[in-house]
Chain A
Amino acid sequence: MGVNYQTVLWNKNKKIYDKWIGLSMLIYLLCFIGITIITNSGTSPETLIIRAFGTLAIALLHIILAIGPLARLNTRFLPLLYNRRHLGVSMFLAALVHGGFSMFQFHALGNTNPIYAIFTSNMDYGSLTNFPFQVLGFFALIILFLMAATSHDFWLKNLSPKIWKRLHMMVYFAYALIILHIFLGAFQQQPSIASFLVLGLGFITIASLHLITGFKETKTDKTKTQLIEDGWEYVCDIDEIPEDRAKIFIVDKERIAVFKYDNKLSAISNVCKHQGGPLGEGKVIDGCVTCPWHGYQYLPHNGQSPPPFTEKVATYRLKNDNNKIYVLPEALAEGTEVAPVTY
């Protein structure tokens, strides 16, 4: 959390994270370039750069796409999620080197504008075999650029978390474009079962992780509350919620998190104002509900971030009837004080 915008709010964990990103990228490049030079020395420097950085970008994209669902399935993966945007920007830079060199090599220094040439030098848009695969890579790079350029919290705040999230969900569209770019380009010119298997395995891993996570979320969403009189809905018994933790329920089509802490109970919206993180998967630390994604904090009894921070989430009224927790589904205005239920 930060009150003022800084380029990067460095801390120990971020520094460790970035060192490993740099080291991993270096190891990849050294392996690819080293093997190519030793075993296939006829290569040219330009081709080597284009291929090394292109394959690095696709490998990193798979790792990035795996982190989200892994962190939802097991909180021990949360440190990987914490600074994922640096990994994303690094992946974009690798893709930019690939795309930039390719654009210069194949489309520049001619009698046509290089960007115009990407779209017009091969017009076989109706053919699968001859399809201009470069166009797919170009659009994917534009999406990755938009994501990298808006990755800072300044843009998150100014675009609004909803629009920002939608923009960043386009990574899946970029992934699809990149897969097609590879299959209609490199794999078509030099097919190999091993390369095909590597990419196929990557796709299956990413798809499976997302399906498993989606199934888990759906299960939570299907947890039925029981309607009783006067609009109060029974959600669970007090014993079902671990200390300093929460349970997530759907009431009035919204996810809410019911927290148990210091012999008290409070309910707030499950959606963090930062990036929409699941507050109900968070923990009460120093009296504050702490988001598992980036550590944004809210006071459980009023949904307000502790001063000087200004984020607010909706709160809900609770009641305790013989250790059974009931919630009034109507969301109160963000930041509304609600006296915690004691037990």
Chain B
Amino acid sequence: MNTNEDDFFVGYIDNVSSKTKKTVKNFVILGLLALITIAVVFAFTQNTFKNSSFELTTNTKIMGVYHEMPYPMLKVKTAENTFKNILLIGFGKYSANPFLKKIREEASELSGSMLSIEGNLIYYNGKTLLQITSDEKVTLIEKANAKRLPKIKSLVNDMELTGEIVDPKCYFGVMKPGKGKIHRSCAVLCISGGIPPVLATTDENNISEYYLITDQKGDPINKKILPYVGKPSLVTGNVVKIEDWYQLRIDVSSIKELNLPSRIY
């Protein structure tokens, strides 16, 4: 087949007119420039990521006193008379409880026991969490001793706090960002799976504080709080302190969704 030197292109015929070649070449150059521009704009307009960490590929073994008030934690000695309470959570969107079932059966009383747990550390802004991926990695070191348990100190009653209810696993490092609208579905599933809800607040000086949320009796809340997760809310409750963690004891029905407009709507 032959084609004259005109602008009619047939895909299975090799010869292409010089004008067509030039047009296609210009389109490809423009297209590439447009793609690079789009990549530059989208890349540069991302919010700054937090310096939170999730050591997915590194296993760390820590030893400490297990307690659940009401959420599983490990009280770890970091220096003489200095302790840090590490929040324990499970693999995926689950709490630590399924991974502690085996050790519970071994020990008559788990709270106050000295445990060694190997898992993946998650940490940000002074808070540390440990992801447990297997019940085989939880070892009983010493039997329960109530004297080792942290003391609960009541601080303020009926305190009003504004912030976002987040799942701590994602917020403190697994996901970036681990808050806001894009992450809401994930936070709902995490908290629904037993990961404790946390109220993340930020004051006018951009200083953040975090509160583990329980019901008024200090028992876990998961399902009831789901409608409020990932939205700006006004939460009222009694604040207690468990060493380096605050706990906010609330009546879920008192949470007020703040109809704060998002930044563009």
Contacts and interface: CB of A to CB of B under 8 A. Distances in A.
Interface of A: 1, 9, 11-14, 20, 24, 27-28, 31-32, 35-36, 39-44, 46-47, 51, 55-56, 59, 63, 70, 74-80, 82-83, 105-112, 117-118, 121-123, 128-130, 132-134, 185-192, 194-195, 198, 282-283, 285-286, 290, 292, 294-295
Contact of B94 (A77, A111, A122, A130): A111
B146 interface: no
Contacts of B1: 285-286
A110 B24 contact: no
Given A27-B35, A28-B35, A78 B48 contact: no
Interface string B15-56: 011011011100110011011111111111111111110100
Nearest to A45: B56
Interface residues of B, number: 70
25 contacts: A14-B11, A24-B32, A36-B43, A39-B43, A42-B49, A42-B52, A42-B176, A44-B175, A51-B46, A55-B42, A74-B23, A76-B9, A76-B23, A79-B11, A108-B92, A111-B93, A111-B192, A112-B189, A129-B261, A129-B265, A130-B231, A189-B181, A286-B2, A290-B8, A295-B11
* In the A-B complex, the 7 residue pairs with the closest CB atoms: A109-B92, A42-B49, A110-B93, A192-B45, A31-B39, A76-B23, A35-B43
B190 A110 contact: yes
Contacts of B8: 75, 78, 282-283, 285, 290, 292
A14 B259 CA distance: 54
B39 A106 contact: no
B181 A55 contact: no
Contacts of A41: 49
Contact of B9 (A11, A75, A195): A75
Given A59-B35, A83-B11, A198-B41, A187 B264 contact: yes
B14 A78 contact: no
B181 to A, nearest CB: 5
Given A14-B11, A109-B92, A24 B41 contact: no
Contacts of A121: 184-186, 188-189
B49 A40 contact: yes
Given A47-B49, A76-B22, 15 more contacts: A9-B12, A12-B14, A55-B38, A63-B31, A76-B19, A77-B23, A106-B185, A109-B93, A121-B184, A132-B185, A133-B181, A134-B185, A189-B262, A195-B42, A198-B37
